[in-house]
Amino acid sequence: MTAEELLAAYAADERNFRGADLRGADLSGADLGGANLSEANLEGANFSGANLEGADLSYARLSGADLSYAKARDVNLCGANLCGANLSGANLSYARLSYARLSYANLSGANLEGANLREANLSGAELDSANFSGANLSGANLSGAILDGATLDGAIGL
């Protein structure tokens, strides 16, 4: 499936793209709110500035993907592989990221208020100036993570 095919299907009210192969696709600025991209291969895809609010990306492969400044409030990224992904400035408030792999990901300036990061792997991640207010970090691996200026008010599990 190409990015153009996905966007055309979405515009025609299709929402189920489970398991799609969109490696390296350019979906910057796209509106994919509520889409099901669970188990999809999205390695190296560009979602910068995209709307992913309420989307299901559980167990998706997003290593090296660009989600900078994405609007991803209440997105489901449980078990997703986001190793080395760019999520800087993204709105991930109330996102579900339990068991997600975020090692060496860039979350600088990201909003993770109220997000569930239980058992997530954030080793070596850039978390400077990120907002983790009220986030659940129980069992999360933060070894080697850069937390300079991060807001951790009310975060659970630290």
The pLDDT of residue 50 is above 80: yes
The pLDDT of residue 154 is above 90: no
Return the pLDDT at 63.
Answer: 98
The share of the chain scoring above pLDDT 90, in percent, equals 92
- Please state, in angstroms and rounded to a whole number, the distance separating the CA atoms of residues 49 and 147: 24
- Confidence class for position 157, pLDDT limits 50, 70, 90: confident
Contacting residues for 12 by C-beta, under 8 A, at least 6 apart: none
Q: What is the mean pLDDT of the chain?
A: 96
Q: What is the pLDDT of residues 95-137, one digit of tens each?
A: 999 999 999 999 999 999 999 999 999 999 999 999 999 999 9
CATH topology of domain 1-158: Pectate Lyase C-like (2.160.20)
pTM listed for this prediction: 0.95
- Please state, in angstroms and rounded to a whole number, the distance separating the CA atoms of residues 90 and 106: 10
Q: What is the pLDDT of residues 8-42, one digit of tens each?
A: 999 999 999 999 999 999 999 999 999 999 999 99
Compute the average pLDDT of residues 57-75: 98
- Give the three-state DSSP class for 9: helix
So where are the chain's domains? 1-158
Token pair 């390695």 is found at: 43
Reading phi first (left if > 0) and then psi (alpha if -120 to 50, else beta), residue 92 is in alpha
In degrees and rounded to multiples of 5, residue 7 shows phi and psi of: -65, -35
Nearest to 108, CA basis, from 84, 133, 125, 83: 125
